[in-house]
Structure 1
Amino acid sequence: MSHSPRTRTVVGCTLLVSALGAGVTACGPDGNPLSAKPYDAAGQISFNGPSGKGKKADPDKPLEVTAESGGGRITDVTAQDATGRYVAGELAADGGRWHSTSPLAAEAHYTVRVSTENEDGAPGRKVLVFDTTRPTAQKRLTVTFGPDAGTYGVGQPVTAVLSEEVKDKAQRAVVERALKVDSVPAVDGAWHWVDDKELHYRPKEYWPAHATVRVHSNLDGIKIGDRLWGGAAKPLELTIGDKIVAVTDAASHSMTVYRDDDEINQIPVTTGKPGYETRNGVKVVLGKEYFVRMRGTTVGISEGTSDSYDLPVYYATRVTWSGEYVHAAPWSVGSQGSANVSHGCTGMSTSNAEWFFETIHQGDVVKVVNSNGDEMEPFGNGFGDWNLEWKTWRAGSALVGGAADVNRPEATARLRPESV
């Protein structure tokens, strides 16, 4: 019984590996491991890129690598630019053609490594190097990540604000795929499109305490849509502090503060009275202000009426942009722990407010339960991101959203004015 040359090569390799051990795993057409060095497949491979000195490829066109007739087949292709970004692609089942499935970047330098196999099973390789041209359009989409670099609480979302609107789902997928969030330890997280120009990223659960979060964009030079290309973005690094969660029970007029899931304090409080009830739900601390002047006119209360006020407020921890705070309220100490008498804020004694002010940090979590107020808006009045269920959050992603979760709350929230 006769064997083809390729069959003999395979049998010879198998016997040699068995005899010499797993360290020898390749051999050439003649069965000799010393001939395993891949041959230059330059004459067998062609591609649709530039072929002259100084010439550049059009990033609008997909990259194609083709095996010449009778020259064997392509077994693998990797295309990577000088910044380390890979180009996704598909290889035909017969190994005759590979083409890119993700866009090339403009003004980039690419190295393409092509692995081949001839009719005898011998490996070959070819390296292609080329540059891409500037985009024909000069309109660039830039990304600004937030918050500022620093240390934050476990509830802090990452934000990405775009310089241009992106409405098309396919274009959103290009943008979102390029926005990278890495954390140590790793988490299960996703981007959510708040509107056409803003995305938020959060994990399924709160960030792990003491995690490091790094954010960067691979969008620079990538085509997003007709006449729109990605621009540069400044990377961001955040450090997560202790897990601080404050839970206010409006029905029992009490706030319980936890550090790393251990109770560290319980504080008598007062929350919003009828008509000014405090919002239920999870809020993320936006900042702290030692002194704030609060006036009833900012919420539509006329001066001189029984509800009017103009008060100096100290140790004010902000949880909404419209003016909901946790703060010192020495005028209501008699009601703290027993009745809700505020105009929407959470009030406590000056000493307790000072302790809270020193303990809490931006990005920490303040949760209100058992209030008759509205639910905290997911977006637009602070960070209510955690009030969306995980499946609904994922539905707001252009990459991982599922058809069953397409409905989500409106991105534009109804704001309530400043209150005490």
Structure 2
Amino acid sequence: MSLRNTARRGAAAMVLAVLAPLALTACSGNDEGPSFVSATPSAAAAPQASAEPLTLAVTPAEAAKNQPVSTEIGTKVTGGTVQTVTVTDSSGGKVTGAMRADGSSWVPNKPLKYGKAYKATVVVADAGGQTIEKSTSFTTMGRPGKKTGAGLYMFEDREYGVAMPVVIEFTSPVPVSARAGVERRLFVTTDPPQPGVWSWSSSLQVMYRGPEFWQTGTKITVRAALEGVPMGNGRYGDQDRKGIGNISKDKIEMKVDNATKQMQVFKNDNLVKTLPVSLGKKTTPSSSGTLVVMDKLRKTVFDTTDDPGNVDRYRVDIEYAQRLTWGGEYIHAAPWSVQHQGKRNVSHGCVNVSTANAQYLFNLTRIGDPITIKGTERTVKPANGWTAWSVTWDQFLKGSALPIPPELAALGSAPAPSASATPQPSVSPS
């Protein structure tokens, strides 16, 4: 069975991470997920010898007004490198921050204050010791009247499965014209380092993943530095968000084949269990693709009796439910369909298993574990859940609003995980 039009976003409201701003510390990573190096003299990169003359241009322009509180200090340098960036408010208080890894700008650790004056001073040097210092003063805008909120699905006190994407959802649509600016303010670092890209599945959702599932034991740190960021249609980001995700030390993966009506369960790439299933009947088929466990409910009620357009309405108590889509597809116990499991599809779109098998899966899995379903009458729609893995890497890259570095584009020859018949041992250290 599936739950339709009932608490579709209820789980979302429960797991939205509404957190305090992340203090941005010196770190390194990939260009598509902007990262930072220190701008202090002791940690500044040594100037390289260059035939170019030393030049420096700084933004915002002198005396600029009504700047967003997300303003960065732009630095365009030839013939040298940035040595220091100092930003102070009108009272002389220092603003902390760090340079982007590509040296294009200096990013404050926290949003600036509304309606305040600031002064930024940048010092650059060449290999011969010549320096240039430039300053600029600017004033931030007043508080905006229209804001867009953002929810980050990630909590530090939880372990997640290897397919857990970084998911941000917005309270108002973000138009295409604003997405690059928003994306540049979404910062991700992973330990151990792994490549990744942001991709827009809709105007309300953007997700981050790499070309492969996360390595087991990975720590993911996220700062969505969105307060004051122009979000389009006269709206601005309401506040910064932060989150930390800890990926499980075990890789759990489920694979369902509609042709056989069987689920294979893998732990660390080893087959540990095969169990019969019943999927959605032809009028209410299950969605094919690589889906991700989004929520887990020991007991719940599926209720579609308030849907006047549904002639097949029902209300039923459910055990061991694991949500896979916003549309209401779950893995769950279905003792009423045991006689059909492994033989024919009778559900409203869910993955039906016996109570014993549902309990086994419920105790084994975590939010973020992948399940690949193949051979059904329909494919999962973008944004109907955390669908980042239901497309190939090449397709996922097309959803980015920023240029893709060549080294990341080159990784696109691998198929989506859903296209692989059997998980293969990872060649990456775990």
Give the drift of 1:124: 3.2
Give the Å deviation of 1:139. 5.2
Task: Tell me what 2:287 maps to.
Answer: 279
Query: Match for residue 361 of structure 1?
Result: 366
Q: CA deviation at 1:113?
A: 0.6
**Residue 123 (1) aligns with residue 136 (2):** no
Shift in Å at residue 79 of structure 1? 6.1
Are 2:169 and 1:161 equivalent residues in the alignment?
Answer: yes
Residue 298 of structure 1 and its aligned partner are, at CA, apart by 6.3
With structure 2 as the length reference, what TM-score do the two structures score? 0.64
Q: Give 1:228 deviation, angstroms.
A: 6.3
Q: What residue in structure 2 maps to residue 399 of structure 1?
A: 402
1:326 counterpart residue number: 331
Question: Which of the numbers 217, 229, 234 marks the counterpart of 2:241?
Answer: 234
1:253 equivalenced with 2:261 (yes/no): yes
Alpha carbons of structure 1 residues 145 and 151: separation in structure 2 relative to 1, 3 Å: farther
Q: Which amino acid aligns with 2:165?
A: P
Question: Which residue matches 2:207?
Answer: 200
Distance change in 2, residues 1:131/1:231 (3 Å)? farther
Distance 1:181 1:298, change over 3 A: same
Superposition pairs of residues 306-385 of structure 1, within 5 angstroms: 310-371=315-376, 373-379=377-383, 381-385=384-388
Partner of 1:390: 393
Q: Following TM superposition, by how much is the alpha carbon of 1:313 offset from its aligned partner in structure 2, in angstroms?
A: 2.1
Relative distance call for 1:141 and 1:185 in structure 2 (3 A) is farther
User: 1:377: Cα distance to partner?
Assistant: 1.1
Q: Percent identity?
A: 29
Contact 2:293/2:366 (<8 A) preserved: yes
Segment of structure 1 superposing worse, 285-294 or 140-149: 140-149
CA distance in 1, matches of 2:401, 2:73: 25
| Structure 1 residues 59 and 89: CA distance shift in structure 2, 3 A | farther
Q: Work out whether 1:214 is the aligned partner of 2:221.
A: yes
TM-superposed CA distance for 1:179, in Å, is 1.0
Which of 261, 264, 270 is equivalent to 1:262?
A: 270
Q: Distance in 1 between matches of 2:230 and 2:285?
A: 48
Distance 1:332 1:163 in 2: 39
Q: CA deviation at 1:64?
A: 10
Q: Give the corresponding residue for 1:188.
A: 195
Deviation at 1:88, TM superposition (A): 10
Deviation at 1:181, TM superposition (A): 0.9
- Residue 317 of structure 2 aligns to a residue whose secondary structure is strand
Q: Say which SS state the counterpart of residue 86 (structure 1) adopts.
A: strand
CA contact (8 A) 1:188 1:203 kept: yes
Aligned amino acid, residue 290 of structure 1: R
Structure-2 change in CA distance of 1:103 and 1:330 (3 Å): closer
| Partner residue, 1:177 | 184
Q: Deviations over 1:318-338 (max 9, x none)?
A: 212222121112122222222
What residue in structure 2 maps to residue 10 of structure 1?
Answer: none
Say whether residues 1:86 and 2:99 are aligned partners.
yes
What is the RMSD computed on CA atoms of the aligned residues?
4.3
The whole-number CA distance in structure 2 between the counterparts of 1:217 and 1:308 is: 41
- Stretches of structure 1 lacking an aligned partner (at least 5 in a row): 1-24, 27-40, 67-72, 91-99, 406-420
C-alpha change, 1:229 and 1:343, in structure 2 (3 Å) is: closer
Does 2:145 match 1:146? no
Structure 1 distance, partners of 2:322, 2:107, is 46
TM-aligned CA distance change 1:77 to 1:225, over 3 Å: farther
State the alpha-carbon separation in 2 of the partners of residues 45 and 312 from structure 1: 67
Q: How far did 1:355 drift?
A: 0.8
Conserved? CA contact 2:295–2:323, under 8 Å: yes
The count of corresponding residues between Structure 1 and Structure 2 is 334
1:123-173: CA deviation from partner (whole Å, max 9, x where unpaired): 33354566532226735766634213132112222123346654253x422
